[in-house]
Chains A and B, each alone.
Chain A
Amino acid sequence: MVQTSNPIEFEVFKNLFLSIAEEMGVTLCRTGFSPNIKERLDYSCAVYDANGDTIAQGDHMPVHLGAMPLSVRAAIDAVAMEAGDVVMLNDPFQGGTHLPDITLVSPVFLPKDKKPSFYVANRAHHSDVGGMSPGSMPVAREIYQEGLIIPPVRLVRRGRMVDDVLALLLANVRTSDEREGDIAAQIAANRVAEQRLRDVVFRYGRAKTMRYAAALQDYTERVVRHAIKGVPDGVYTFDDALDDDGFGSGPVTIRVAITVKKDQATVDFTGSAPQVTGSVNANYAITWSACLYAFRCLVQDDVLYNAGVGRPIRVIAPEGSIVNARRPAAVAGGNVETSQRITDVVFGALGKAQPDFWPAASQGTMNNVTLGGQDPRTGRPFAYYETMGGGMGGRNNMAGLSGVHTHMSNTRNTPVEAIEHYLPVRVRRYGLRRGSAGAGAAPGGEGLVREYEMLTETSVTLLTDRRVSAPYGAQGGKPGGKGRNTLIRDGQEQPLPGKMQVTLRTGDRLRVETPGGGGYGLK
């Protein structure tokens, strides 16, 4: 074998590519307008090779891991990109995750290139992309109700904004000023990355840069294969369920059989429920991301995330099922809820192979709360979306963390003082939910409780799970406490279902209690 790379250059190029992804993130976060981008950091940035395979992705959002390269490929397939172009998309059936996640893909042409040598892309969660309810995370029956669907289209052509496309987008969303600002921030992030990539190529030469881009992927693949080798060969099965789809479906089962053979794994979801009416359908990109996340966790070194992670893994997700839905399924909750349950079953199955390593179930939901209406102070519409942390599952010899985002999300909370400044909402309580942790030798973490008081008539959409089933315990540990949603009107408390849309009156309060983590080991 001819040695095409050495261990030293690996580190040098790893630093270069990773710093590009991180600089994109800094630009996006500091100049973004949606609270989702600037406060909650709900975005991902990455650099891709000429095939659209990831070279380096920043440590941003796990749920975007596998989905981002699918968007890049969708953009490549749909648009013959020229230098200076930026392609925009959010279609979940063409590389997107759910509609609020808008992805911008830019080609990077090197001197004399006829085709791009690299691509850069970033994906950010926008506060509103239209549809039947403010915040665009509705309890919907089909994707057409969820918001504006954007197939891969040019937003910028040869460096010039395509105003028609932008106008069409802005006409379809509730908070257009904010959208325009976020889009500008996203374009700026891609520009930063394009420039930095050109600098790297100028410094190290095209051939060497390309060679190391490939070597970095091979390297990550080796690390992941090495980790899989540590899992005993065998077939491991597990199943769990989502509570329901918001339209009375009852439990929606997700079943997995993982076959580990030497340094590779097949993750087979055959036997999972068919796709459902409500919005908890996951498209393939989500399922793929959840599997990549689980296997990335298997590696306990800080290995660079790129396309190499996926090479030893095969995912079988039957078309038309809850884990690979077909158009026109509603998918808003697939990204945030189903992705968590897919992770739960993959972790659960691997826990049978390595009981000392894999933890009990974490909260298993992102507790999506969307608020919208008209702000009486300004007369302008508002749309606000947030997700809430909960209990992490207990680990071998280590309690789960309390009040944190787990698995597929790691978004921040919005400060109470910021919410109250910008929205006609008052937060009456925000704290840990005592008693929600699952008992065990190592208990799970506690969930959170947040109570909102509406200062005006407000449309509220809840997309929350683990209100019926509880996060499982591991190795004899007890399950975590289920979540609970409550409306408090005129002093009377009434329970609310996990997934619903409701219009609240001034003075009404909404209390969201998030699930605790399962316990680990017999107490």
Chain B
Amino acid sequence: MHGSTVATNAVLERKGAKVALVATRGFEDVLKIGRQTRPELYNIFVAPRPPLVEPHLTFGLAERLDATGAVLEPVVEDDVDQLARVLHDHQVDIVAVCLLHAYANPMHEQQVAHWLRQSGLTVCASHEVLPEYREYERWSTTVVNAYVTPIMSRYLLRLEEGLRTADCGPRTADRLSIMQSNGGCISAAAARAQAVRTVLSGPAAGVVGAKAVAEAAKLRRVIGFDMGGTSTDVSLIDGSIGRTTDSRVGDFPVRLPVIDIHTVGAGGGSIAYLDTGGALRVGPRSAGAAPGPVCYGVGEELTVTDANLLLGRLDPDYFLGGRMAIDRTRTERVAADLAKRARLSVPDLAEGIVRVANANMERAIRVVSVERGHDPRQCAVVAFGGAGGMHACEIAEQLQMTTVMAPRHAGVLSALGMLVADVTKDYSASVLRASAGLTLKDLECASAPLVAAAKAVLKAEGFGPSRQVITVSVDVRYVGQSFEITVPLTERYRDAFDREHGRTYGYSNPARPTEVVNVRVTATGVTAKPTLPHTRVRASYRPAPSALRPGRFGGRAVKVAFHRWDDLRPGARAAGPAVIAGGEATVVIPPRWTFTVDGFSNILASLPVR
């Protein structure tokens, strides 16, 4: 199993393939125009966002379909042949074929792709990547795919080669599978063909890992809270992992199902400063690994990590398991300077920095929960990433959430996610018809070819019928709306849609006609799961702290009990304020909270309901 950031970095660093775009003549600039908006309203010096295809590699092709897929102007083979010669002359790596209304009828794209492939070019056509309407989003997804595919393909071939030559056991290379952005995995061969599906695989693996540890600990509704050095990723797991098709990679929309992760630019390394109005701001600028927080000895600007140190929430003798020395005196000097300018005491400033960072992250949790119609109070927080455990309890309290779990191996949750991920494939097709004129049978007919394809692919990858799970769903909206809600395809899908609309937006109208925009098929090949090491908890005990140190919570100086995670046995139970320092992460338990250590050595913190 393998997850990689090769594809993501190719886009972010603009180091992808040399892509040519073949578009319907008259529409060559669709990707340059985007949605004709500027990304920032009031910034006079707003920066341009150059597309991934260079201007001289964009070509218009005479052809046209209408919105029903009927041919208005056929493709001429000679035109394509001529184009193929030009594309060869330019030595492009791959050609993205993006034609209007290809979701309604793929024939023109198929013809063009076929002729170009015959000439020896590598081609990716928009209907293959995302057969859904809205040209900018479909074409953008297709071009991102083209941009990352050759690099990913080379990378995977090298990897497979390496696995073959190295002695990794029989057929390891054949069984290599790749994490996708949707939280499932696909075979290396499939990833080579549609690399865009792996673009956001890194954070996705963490969420899958968080779900696995949460389920093992019997937590069903969970908010994944992955706080790293520069940013924080927040996701919602409500029995299953929340997904979205509304995501971006860098500046570009990618409309494939991905795990719904909301990222904010606030992490342990985020820099605190005073703006011209005198407000204390934290991030999005980050000290990163270099120069790093002030307490690491080089950085000159105060960060969230420094604030945590000043508040007595880091174990100075055991930072990162004792692998890193930290300089408190230096930090106090830098903090005194900023505190003076803010007209605050150093402890007030430090606590303020943490609160401001928490407020940013709290907003991110609202986005994935409240804005999607979920009540966060019914969820537990699973905190991971280097800094997640230090902030989770206070943020939870602000949102009236009462349970926080910090998994024992927070740093390797992504790796765990990859081990437990199932093979998942998503298929979709545009329907765009009023529900009134559609029977269940019509929709089943529309989805049948997708289901058949999915089953065949799973079978080819070694999943027998007993290990296949196929779900069929439909994207529905009221006629005239532009955003759809995905509900399972059943006889009563219409009722389910009204219910979801009501839950998410506060109202619904069963009398209003609806339409079905897409059918979706998700095919899962269930893999064998490793079991997590577990000790039965026989009795609880009160652990003795390794130290008592002065700390600060809610504006008050308090004595904080410090524990070493390695020393805590399952069954340990104690009250906050406490700090549990581990080799990968630190967990902060504020006053009024209590914590226990479960059979997996996870920390489970809870707040008694008032």
Chain A: which residue is nearest B506 at the CB level? A188
Pairwise interchain contact A14-B279, C-beta atoms closer than 8 A: yes
Complex alpha-carbon distance, A31 and B371, angstroms: 13
> For chain A residues 1-35, which have a beta carbon within 8 Å of chain B?
6-8, 10-12, 14-16, 19, 23, 26-27, 29-33, 35
Which of B44, B101, B501, B505 lies in contact with A420, CB distance below 8 A? B101
Contact A357 B33 (CB under 8 A): no
Which of the four size classes fits the interface of chain A? 35 or more
With an 8 A cutoff between CB atoms, is A113 at the interface? no
The docked-state distance in angstroms from the alpha carbon of A196 to that of B37 is 29
Let me know if A79 is at the binding interface, CB within 8 A: no
Task: Judge if A379 is at the interface, Cβ distance under 8 Å.
Answer: no
Contact A7:B43 (CB < 8 A) given known A26-B371, A426-B66: no
Closest to A411 in B: B37
In the complex, the answer to whether A389 meets B480 with C-beta atoms within 8 Å is no
Given A31-B505, A192-B506, A430-B26, A15-B33 contact (CB < 8 Å): no
Check B432 for interface membership: any CB of A closer than 8 A: yes
Q: Are B26 and A410 in contact (CB under 8 A)?
A: no
Q: Which residues of B contact A29 (CB under 8 A)?
A: 483
Minimum C-beta distance from A520 to chain B (A): 11
Q: Are A417 and B32 in contact (CB under 8 A)?
A: no
User: How long is the Cα–Cα vector from A6 to B356 in the complex, in angstroms?
Assistant: 12
* B33–A432 touching, CB < 8 Å: yes
**Which chain B positions have C-beta within 8 A of A185?**
505
Q: Is A188 touching B512 in the complex (CB atoms < 8 A)?
A: no
Give per-residue flags for A402-435: 1 if the beta carbon is below 8 A from chain B beta carbons, else 0. 1111100011110111101100001011111000
Interface centre among A192, A392, A398, A431 (most CB of B within 10 A): A431
Interface contact A222-B370, CB-CB below 8 Å: no
* Nearest A-chain residue to B504, judged by Cβ: A30
Question: Chain B residue with minimal CB distance to A301?
Answer: B275
| B526 on interface, CB distance cutoff 8 Å | no
Stretch with Cβ within 8 A of A (4 or more), from B113-121, B130-138, B416-424, B583-591: B130-138
Chain B min CB distance to A411 (Å): 7
Taking a contact as CB atoms closer than 8 A, the residue among A23, A191, A220, A388 that contacts B277 in the complex is A220
A62-B41, A430-B27 as given contacts; A31 in contact with B501, CB under 8 Å? yes
A358 to B44, CA, bound (A): 8
Chain B hits for A395, CB < 8 A: 44-45
Instruction: Check if A410 sits within 8 Å of B38, measured CB to CB.
Output: yes
Q: In the bound complex, do residue A226 and residue B277 qualify as a contact, i.e. CB atoms below 8 Å apart?
A: yes
User: How far apart sit A8 and B354, CA to CA, in the bound complex (Å)?
Assistant: 9
CA distance A410 to B355 in the complex (A): 33
Residues of B within 8 A of A35 (CB): 482
Binary interface encoding of chain B residues 463-481 relative to chain A, with 1 for a CB under 8 A from any of its CBs, else 0: 0000000000000001011
Complex contacts, A332 vs chain B, CB 8 Å: none
Cβ-defined contact, B480 with A413, below 8 A: no
The smallest beta-carbon distance between B536 and chain A, in angstroms, is 40
A-contact bits for B39-63, CB 8 A (1 contact / 0 none): 0011111111000000000000000
A268 CB–B CB distance under 8 Å? no
Cβ–Cβ contact B36 & A430, under 8 A: no
A30–B505 CB distance below 8 A: yes
A296 contacts the other chain (CB 8 A): yes
Query: B362 contacts which chain A residues (CB < 8 A)?
Result: 15
Contacts of A223 in B (CB 8 A): 275-277
Q: Is the CB of B133 within 8 A of A417?
A: yes
B483 touches A19 (CB 8 A): no
Binds B, one of A176-184, A462-470, A481-489: A176-184
Contact A8 B36 (CB under 8 A): no
Q: How far is the CB of B198 from chain A (nearest CB, A)?
A: 27
What are the interface flags for B560-598 relative to A under an 8 Å C-beta threshold, 1 for contact and 0 otherwise? 000000000000000000000000000000000000000
Chain B residues with CB under 8 A of A398: 45, 47
A27 touches B505 (CB 8 A): yes
Min distance, Cβ B74 to any Cβ of chain A, angstroms: 17
* B355/A33 in contact, CB under 8 A: no
B44 touches A418 (CB 8 A): no
CB <8 Å contact, B276 and A226: yes
Q: Given A7-B344, A27-B505, A177-B480, decide whether A417 and B134 contact each other with a Cβ distance below 8 A.
A: yes
Closest to A402 in B: B32
Restricting to A27-48, which residues have a CB under 8 Å from any CB of B? 27, 29-33, 35, 38-39
How distant is the Cα of A413 from the Cα of B504 in the complex, in angstroms? 26
Chain B proximity of A464: nearest CB distance (Å): 16
Q: How far is the CA of A131 from the CA of B508 in the complex (A)?
A: 30
Q: Indicate whether A10 sits within 8 Å of B38 (C-beta atoms), given known contacts A31-B501, A31-B505, A417-B101.
A: no
Complex contacts, B344 vs chain A, CB 8 Å: 6-7
A404 to B42, CA, bound (A): 14
B30 CB–A CB distance under 8 Å = yes
Q: A12-B355, A417-B101, A417-B133 are in contact. Are A412 and B481 (CB under 8 A)?
A: no
Min CB gap A510→B, angstroms: 15
CB atoms of A416 and B48 under 8 A apart:
no
Q: Is the CB of B38 within 8 A of A404?
A: yes
Q: How far is the CA of A455 from the CA of B360 in the complex (A)?
A: 50
- B172 within 8 Å of A (CB atoms): no
B164 at the interface (CB under 8 A from A): no
Q: Are B135 and A410 in contact (CB under 8 A)?
A: no
CB within 8 Å for A300 and B43 given contacts A15-B359, A415-B133, A421-B67:
yes
0/1 string, A275-318, CB within 8 A of B gives 1: 00000000000000000010011011101000000000000000
In the complex the two chains form, is B280's CB within 8 Å of A8's CB?
A: yes
The answer to whether B36 and A412 have CB atoms under 8 Å apart is yes
Q: Are B279 and A219 in contact (CB under 8 A)?
A: yes
Q: Does B29 sit within 8 A of A, measured CB to CB? A: yes
Q: How far is the CA of A89 from the CA of B481 in the complex (A)?
A: 23
Q: Known: A23-B370, A296-B42. Contact between A429 and B279, CB under 8 A?
A: no
B27 pairs with A429, CB closer than 8 A: yes
B30 interface neighbour in A19, A303, A430, Cβ under 8 Å: A430
Contact of A184 among B43, B45, B371, B507 (CB under 8 A): B507
Taking a contact as CB atoms under 8 Å apart, the answer to whether A299 and B42 are in contact is yes
Contact B41 A15 (CB under 8 A): no
Q: A59–B481 Cα gap in the complex (Å)?
A: 22
The answer to whether the Cβ of A448 comes within 8 Å of any Cβ in the partner chain is yes
Complex: A390 Cα to B360 Cα, angstroms: 35
Q: Is the CB of A401 within 8 A of B363?
A: no
| Inter-chain contacts of B66 with A (CB < 8 A) | 420, 426
In the complex, what residue of chain A is closest to B276 when comparing beta carbons? A226
- Is A30 in contact with B483, judged by CB distance below 8 angstroms? yes
Does chain A have a CB within 8 A of B278? yes
* In contact, A448 and B33 (Cβ under 8 angstroms): yes
Contact A301 B276 (CB under 8 A): yes
C-alpha spacing A404/B49, complex, angstroms: 12
Task: Determine if A454 is an interface residue (Cβ-Cβ < 8 Å).
Answer: no
* Cα separation A516 to B518 with both chains bound (whole Å): 39
With contacts A38-B481, A395-B45, A405-B38 known, is A432 near B505, CB below 8 A?
no
**Once the chains bind, are A401 and B509 in contact (CB under 8 Å)?**
no
| Chain B residues near A32 (CB-CB < 8 A) | 481-482
Which residue on chain A has the smallest CB distance to residue B60?
A431
Cβ of A392: which chain B residues have Cβ within 8 Å of it?
38
Residues of B within 8 A of A177 (CB): 480
Q: Can you name 11 A-B pairs with beta carbons within 8 Å? A: A31-B501, A192-B506, A222-B277, A227-B276, A398-B45, A399-B48, A403-B29, A412-B37, A418-B133, A421-B67, A432-B33
Other 5 A-B pairs with CB < 8 A, given A10-B280, A410-B41? A14-B279, A26-B371, A398-B45, A406-B38, A417-B103
Which residues of A pack against B, CB within 8 Å?
6-8, 10-12, 14-16, 19, 23, 26-27, 29-33, 35, 38-39, 59, 62, 177-178, 181, 184-185, 187-188, 191-192, 196, 203, 219-220, 222-223, 226-227, 293, 296-297, 299-301, 303, 357-359, 388-389, 392, 395, 398-399, 401-406, 410-413, 415-418, 420-421, 426, 428-432, 448, 451
